[in-house]
């Protein structure tokens, strides 16, 4: 089976043109306070801002990240359509959030009455989304702690393929190689070398226009990612 993913230079991250495969929604969706459209690269909130609201991605892609004291950035997650982000245990946001592409967001208030409305649909949706996010965070911790650059790229591409359900479909993806490096704990140069090696080994293919990456050997990528 071959899976094709579009890139901007190198395989970035998530599609904005097709709906994400984040989570099935309940039959009755919770009503947001309002819907907000955010321009590409615009800030949604910053670390330290009051966390009075949280967000559900309707379309587009959002990244959440932290900046270290020396200016380095660690992207903890990319949020796709259907994903919920910005829901904090404390009174302030711990991460920064930016739109990678133009994004439409449902904005919800973080208060018990809002969570209890719509027959608890929003609360159920939050639980499902947070469980999925926790699973991805655990997998990402293993990736950062134990895997080589080549293994990280393989894991990333396979995870992306599953999340986007891109069986044989070409997808337009917005992420830069810098975003990819900051998510995987690598340098941009390490990302480039690992991708080139995977291409040389026949596991992926990068068409001449650099807009697509094809997962040529999914089984071999899966073995490498284990």
Q: Which residue has the higher pLDDT, 8 or 170?
A: 170
Looking at the structure, do residues 158 and 76 belong to the same domain, yes or no? no
Tell me if 65 is assigned to some domain: yes
Split at pLDDT 50, 70, 90, the class of 32 is low
Tell me if 28 is assigned to some domain: no
Give the residue from 131, 133, 176 showing the smallest Cα distance to 41: 176
* Domain termination site, one of 72, 104, 129: 129
Q: How many residues are recorded in the chain?
A: 226
Reported as a single tens digit per residue, the pLDDT across 163-203 is 877 765 656 667 888 999 999 999 999 999 999 999 999 99
Task: Check: CB of residue 215 under 8 Å from CB of residue 157.
Answer: yes
* Domain termination site, one of 79, 97, 129: 129
State the Cα angle at 179 between 200 and 222, rounded to 5°.
Answer: 45
- Give Cα 154 to chain centroid, integer Å: 16
Question: What pLDDT is attached to residue 115?
Answer: 64
Q: Residue 82 is part of a domain; what is its CATH number?
A: 2.60.120.10
Radius of gyration (C-alpha) of the chain in whole angstroms? 18
Q: Residue 120 class from Cβ within 10 Å (0-12 exposed, 13-18 middle, 19+ buried)?
A: middle
Tell me if 211 is assigned to some domain: yes
Residue 143 structure tokens: 């990736």
Looking at the structure, do residues 42 and 112 belong to the same domain, yes or no? yes
Residue 81 structure tokens: 């359509």
Give the domain extent around 83: 34-129
């Amino acid at each position: 089976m071959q899976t094709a993913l579009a890139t901007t230079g190198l395989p970035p991250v998530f599609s904005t043109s097709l709906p994400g495969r984040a989570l099935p929604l309940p039959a009755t969706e919770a009503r947001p306070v309002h819907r907000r459209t955010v321009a590409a690269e615009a800030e949604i909130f910053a670390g330290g801002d009051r966390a009075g609201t949280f967000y559900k991605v309707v379309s587009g892609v959002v990244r959440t990240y932290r900046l270290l004291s020396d200016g380095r950035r660690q992207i903890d997650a990319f949020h796709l359509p259907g994903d919920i982000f910005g829901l904090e245990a404390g009174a302030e946001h711990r991460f920064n959030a930016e739109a990678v592409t133009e994004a439409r967001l449902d904005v919800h208030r973080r208060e018990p009455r809002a969570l209890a409305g719509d027959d608890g649909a929003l609360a159920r949706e939050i639980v499902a989304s947070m469980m999925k996010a926790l699973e991805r965070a655990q997998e990402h911790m293993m990736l950062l702690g134990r895997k080589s650059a080549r293994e990280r790229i393989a894991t990333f591409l396979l995870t992306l393929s599953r999340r986007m359900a891109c069986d044989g479909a070409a997808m337009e993806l917005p992420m830069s190689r810098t975003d990819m490096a900051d998510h995987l704990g690598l340098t941009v140069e390490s990302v480039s070398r690992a991708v080139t090696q995977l291409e040389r080994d026949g596991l992926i293919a990068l068409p001449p226009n650099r807009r697509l990456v094809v997962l040529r050997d999914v089984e071999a990528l899966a073995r490498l990612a284990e």
